[in-house]
Homo-oligomer: A and B are copies of this chain.
């Protein structure tokens, strides 16, 4: 495998396949627990990381819940940009700061297809310590104020 582009060094802590569990909630829905797999793959000789994740309900019939795909790229000194698309018809553009295995992304734009749910603001914070990734996602949507929607803890698969 080609080694990651040198400009990816500040984001290298993300690279791998991650699995774990999370929980979600929002004032308009029942709380739920989920199982997640996420991959962060360096672009082929290019300075970006391709990101893909999918989740299933924890317990019951393990039905598929969410998925999303996007790209992260380093910008400037300690900065990063994240773009994401979702099968719900939502796209997000974020700018973030990277320091000590942590990235804090704030929405610069949320877009929605005409029939998609109205999401107006999102933040995504990712913290990697050794082989553990914790993230928190907050959302302002459907008339509710900005608040935590998802929290999860994932473990990097060995060799990934």
For the side of the interface on A, what is the size category?
Answer: 35 or more
Question: Who on chain B is nearest to A64 by CB?
Answer: B44
Contacts of A91 in B (CB 8 A): 83-85, 91-93, 109, 111
Interface assignment of A101: CB less than 8 Å from any CB of chain B: no
Which B-chain residue is minimally distant from A70 (CB atoms)? B85
Q: Tell me whether A81 is interfacial, beta carbon within 8 Å.
A: yes
Q: Does A50 contact B (CB under 8 A)?
A: yes
Q: Residues of B contacting A52 with CB < 8 Å? A: 69
In this assembly, does A137 line the interface, its C-beta being within 8 Å of a C-beta of chain B? no
Q: Which residues on B sit within 8 Å (CB–CB) of A67?
A: 43, 50
Interface residues in chain A, defined as those with a beta carbon under 8 Å from any beta carbon in chain B: 43-46, 48, 50, 52, 54, 63-64, 67, 69-71, 73, 75-76, 81-87, 89-95, 108-109, 111-116
